[in-house]
Amino acid sequence: MPENTMSQPILLVDDDSVFRLMVKRFLGSEFDVLEADCLEEARHLLARQSFSCVLLDYRLPDGNGLQILPELVLMDLPVVMLTGMGNEKLALQAIQHGCQAYLIKDDLTRDTLIDSFSRVPQEASEKRQALREQIVFPQIVQTASRQCRETTAALRQLLRIENLVANENVQHLNRLSHLMQGVLTYARILSTGWLPEPMSLTSTIDQALEGIDRSTIPVELKRISQPLPALQSDADAVKAIVQNLLEFAVQQPPVKQGASITMQIMALNLEACVQITISGLTTESSAESPKSSPDLIHPEFEVSRLLVEKLRGRLWLDKTAELFRICFALPYQEDFALLAIEEN
């Protein structure tokens, strides 16, 4: 039987008091076990006490075990996931997110439980280090992006109150704020993944347009929409895509007097499609303008492309002499939620 070399207690997180008692009896007096019956209590104990490892139930009253895994990885805490059902996909997902072992409650014995502990010190620290880097870097980006957005919002408010700058400079701050929101959303998806949720594409786009300062858009903006079924996607990502593509669109000069941007929303071939069309371009702007070339790095366009790809969608450009169109499409798929879970 492996000897207990753990100098610090084990944290057992499970909402079943009978199962917690069984685990403590399995381990006996040679292991010090502290208990939590939900994520909130677990976080409270983790803030006050050091632990050698965590026994973590998957299903909890205030969430699931995967939600707290990134925090445990950052603390360099080995984790053994417990579940009442055998699920190969869930086991793989748990291991990918930083668990050292995955145990089924019905098959649990003293030997399997202690064996999972004995393997913990032997786990390569490089794996947990790589996971920490995967989690920490996006969080740094999120913090920097949030601070940048808050700063630009404060500057816009101050400059408008004092009437210190021209409209085009306020537009630059708006563009920076939308870009940072796109980066923030992408970093969040990269760090924690995402689960598709039902959303109204039309309502989400309306919310995105509410976040656009119309006074800084030099052309008329119109939205045309047909009734659409609910879409399984990420509303924050869609809002960031729309705002950044609009910022990209208005940078396609020069425009004629009376030029306009039309945003059309439609369902086509099992996809929800959004077309952003800027019409009224002068002849000189057709394909000769370096700003309208997708071959050049354009931050607003590129962050939109990254987000669309994360949502399993498509993004493309159409150009003619007097028209510039940006389109993106997101899929209607019944099994999309399952695919997203498997991907993460």
Predicted confidence (pLDDT) per residue in 274-289, tens digit = 998 887 665 554 444 4
Could you tell me if 174 and 265 lie in one domain? yes
Could you tell me if 135 and 241 lie in one domain? yes
CATH number at residue 316: 3.30.565.10
Cα distance between residue 114 and residue 108, in whole Å: 10
What does pLDDT average to over the chain?
77
Residue 321 CB: number of other CB atoms within 10 A?
A: 12
Could you tell me if 139 and 54 lie in one domain? no
Predicted confidence (pLDDT) per residue in 113-143, tens digit = 888 876 655 554 556 666 666 666 666 676 6
Instruction: Out of 92, 123, 154, pick the residue that ends a domain.
Output: 123
Spacing of C-alpha 239 from chain mean position: 13
Instruction: Out of 123, 145, 169, pick the residue that ends a domain.
Output: 123
Q: Residue 2: inside a domain, yes or no?
A: no
Position with higher pLDDT, 104 vs 319? 104
Instruction: Out of 79, 96, 123, pick the residue that ends a domain.
Output: 123
Could you tell me if 161 and 108 lie in one domain? no
Position with higher pLDDT, 256 vs 16? 16
Amino acid letter, residue 119: R
The number of folded domains in the chain is 2
Position with higher pLDDT, 15 vs 84? 15
Q: Which domain holds residue 189?
A: 130-343
- Checking 115-122 for CB contacts under 8 A at 24+ apart, the result is 115/2, 116/80, 117/2, 117/6, 117/10, 117/53, 117/80, 118/2, 120/52, 120/53, 120/78, 120/80, 121/5
CATH number at residue 45: 3.40.50.2300
- Whether the CB-CB separation of 294 and 317 falls below 8 Å is answered with yes
Position with higher pLDDT, 123 vs 337? 123
Could you tell me if 140 and 93 lie in one domain? no
- Whether the CB-CB separation of 344 and 196 falls below 8 Å is answered with no
Q: Which residue has the tokens 């620290």?
A: 125
Cβ-based burial of 179 (10 A; exposed 0-12, middle 13-18, buried ≥19)? buried
Could you tell me if 37 and 171 lie in one domain? no
Q: Residue 37: inside a domain, yes or no?
A: yes
Q: Residue 117: inside a domain, yes or no?
A: yes
Could you tell me if 263 and 235 lie in one domain? yes
Predicted confidence (pLDDT) per residue in 142-163, tens digit = 666 676 767 777 776 776 666 6
H/E segment holding residue 54: strand 53-57
Could you tell me if 239 and 194 lie in one domain? yes
Could you tell me if 303 and 201 lie in one domain? yes
Cα distance between residue 294 and residue 287, in whole Å: 10
Question: What's the confidence (pLDDT) of residue 248?
Answer: 87
Question: What's the confidence (pLDDT) of residue 343?
Answer: 37
